[in-house]
Amino acid sequence: MSSPTNYCYEELSNAVVACAAIDYINAINGFGYHDASSGKKHEPNEVISDVEEFFQSDWFPLLTNLEPDIVREKCFQLAPFSKEKRRKVA
């Protein structure tokens, strides 16, 4: 059984990966986001690039046991977009 502290870190790790996946799905669908702290608008292509970099980083496997390519593919499956748009992103 894991300690309460380990449980909290696991939940935080899961939340980081989930937020990245949500940002990725939104960006695939053409939505960027505004950073509330800086006021900067992040364009969809910038978000896609940043999240793909995160998926391939040394940090990602420290947060999850999921395969980054599988996470990426699942995000594409969950995003309602055209095949043409997928080709542009891939």
For the stretch 6-51, pLDDT in tens is 889 999 999 999 999 999 999 999 998 888 888 889 999 999 999 9
Residue 5 has pLDDT above 90, yes or no: no
Question: What length is written for the chain?
Answer: 90
Higher pLDDT residue, 47 or 83? 47
Look at the chain and report how many structural domains it folds into: 1
CB 35 within 8 A of CB 18: no
Residue 70 has pLDDT above 60, yes or no: yes
Band of the pLDDT at 82, cuts 50, 70, 90? very low
Q: For residue 8, what are the domain limits?
A: 4-89
Higher pLDDT residue, 50 or 2? 50
- For the CA atoms of 54, 57, 58, 61, the dihedral, rounded to the nearest 10 degrees, stands at 60
In one letter, which amino acid is 21? A
Quote the CA–CA distance of 49 and 71 in Å, as a whole number: 15
DSSP code for 43: P
